[in-house]
């Protein structure tokens, strides 16, 4: 089973709203990732959690706030977003992060976010 589950699948929010994206995996993976993907572009890394600790923040604006409550869950809290933040937000997980071969990353189905 290589399933990563993201909710919701679609989200429309106003610029003053607060919302959260959720991601869950039960593969025992210890690295979890948030990516942002705009149309016709490759995924761009936002955050990496390794063993529930934030290990990479790719200079993401503070209106995006990640949280990793436990080894199976990853959240992305959204506040005061801009229309240009509209994109497909992808969660991924891998067995480990770092040197070694156990780095295959599996993606969830994504959340299509529209900011109005």
Partner 1 sequence: QKEVEQNSGPLSVPEGAIASLNCTYSDRGSQSFFWYRQYSGKSPELIMSIYSNGDKEDGRFTAQLNKASQYVSLLIRDSQPSDSATYLCAVAHYGGSQGNLIFGKGTKLSVKP
Site string for partner 1, 76-115 (x = CB under 8 A): ------------x-x------xxx-x-xxxxxxxx-----
d(CA 49, CA 114): 25
109: DSSP letter: -
Q: Is 49 in the site for partner 1 (CB under 8 A)?
A: no
Hunting for tokens 């990563």 — which residue is that?
A: 4
Inter-residue contact 55 to 48 (CB < 8 Å): yes
- Minimum Å gap between C-beta 24 and partner 1 is 15
Residue span binding partner 1 (CB under 8 A) among the ranges 16-24, 45-53, 63-71, 74-82: 45-53
Q: Which residues of 4-31 are buried (b: 16+ CB within 10 A; e: fewer)?
A: bebeeeebebeeeeebebbbbbeeebbb
Stretch that binds partner 1, among 16-24, 49-57, 59-67, 74-82 (CB under 8 A): 49-57
Task: Please name which of 18, 23, 19, 15 lies closest in space to residue 90, comparing C-alpha atoms.
Answer: 23
Minimum distance from CB of 6 to partner 1 (Å)? 8
Under rule CB under 8 A, which residues in 23-42 are in contact with partner 1? 33, 41-42
User: Which stretches of the chain bind partner 1, using CB under 8 A?
Assistant: 2, 33, 41-43, 45, 48, 50, 55-56, 88, 90, 97-99, 101, 103-110
């Amino acid at each position: 089973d290589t399933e990563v589950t993201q909710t919701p699948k679609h989200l429309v929010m106003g610029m003053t709203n607060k919302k959260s994206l959720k991601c869950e995996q039960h593969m025992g993976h210890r690295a979890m990732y948030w990516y942002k993907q705009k149309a016709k572009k490759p995924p761009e890394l936002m955050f990496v959690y390794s063993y529930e600790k934030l290990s990479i923040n790719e200079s993401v604006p503070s209106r995006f706030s990640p949280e990793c409550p436990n080894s199976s869950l990853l959240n992305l809290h959204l506040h005061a977003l801009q229309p240009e933040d509209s994109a497909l937000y992808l969660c991924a997980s891998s067995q480990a992060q770092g040197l070694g071969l156990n780095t295959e990353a599996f993606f969830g189905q994504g959340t299509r976010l529209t900011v109005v």
